[in-house]
Amino acid sequence: MTPHFSLAELTASSTAKRLKLDNTPMPAALENLRQTAEMLERVRAHLGGKPIIVTSGYRGREVNQAVGGATSSDHMSGQAADVVPAVGAAYDMAKALAPHIDALGIGQLIYEASGNSRWVHLSTRKPAKPVNRVITIHVGKGTYLGVQKI
């Protein structure tokens, strides 16, 4: 899709593989994914060109359901990707990106934590409420404004 982000990387899903679910995006989602990949290129460049890993990009309805994603998840429309830095902490990545969301074309940034996992959810779509553009979600525990250390 772009120099550092392939369609394969943005549609890969271990859950889809395990459950034998088709995770091929429809044309509209494909176009959204291209814009997501372009946003990720800007993010990568902003972080000094260091590699970032996409842990979850596009998720078809069935795949999204299987992973317990939100029913209105931006992953289903190809407008979001969960990423982690190849080296370093997701928290530091979220902190470095948060002040620059407009310039980077990030509609919403969510620093997420579940158990010992930490990742950054980046969407090209702005949430309905501007206050939700940069938030922290500790799965099962709470949602907080801004990027909070958890």
Q: If we measure between CA atoms, which residue out of 58, 80, 76, 63 comes closest to residue 124? A: 80
Residue 121 found at the interface with Zn ion (CB under 5 A): yes
44 vs 121, which CB is nearer to Zn ion? 121
Residue 10 found at the interface with Zn ion (CB under 5 A): no
108 within 8 A of 120, measured Cβ to Cβ:
no
**DSSP one-letter code for 124:** S
Cα-based torsion angle of the residue sequence 117, 123, 129, 134 in order, rounded to the nearest 10 degrees: 50
Q: How far is the CB of 79 from Zn ion (least distance, A)?
A: 10
Q: How many residues bind Zn ion (CB under 5 A)?
A: 2
- List all residues 6 or more positions away from 79 whose beta carbon is below 8 Å from its beta carbon: 32, 35, 36, 107, 123, 124, 125
Q: How far is the CB of 22 from Zn ion (least distance, A)?
A: 20
- Per-position x/- string for 66-85, each x denoting binding to Zn ion as judged by CB under 5 A, each - no binding: ----------------x---
Q: How far is the CB of 121 from Zn ion (least distance, A)?
A: 3
82 vs 133, which CB is nearer to Zn ion? 82
Q: Give contact residues for Zn ion (rule: CB under 5 A).
A: 82, 121
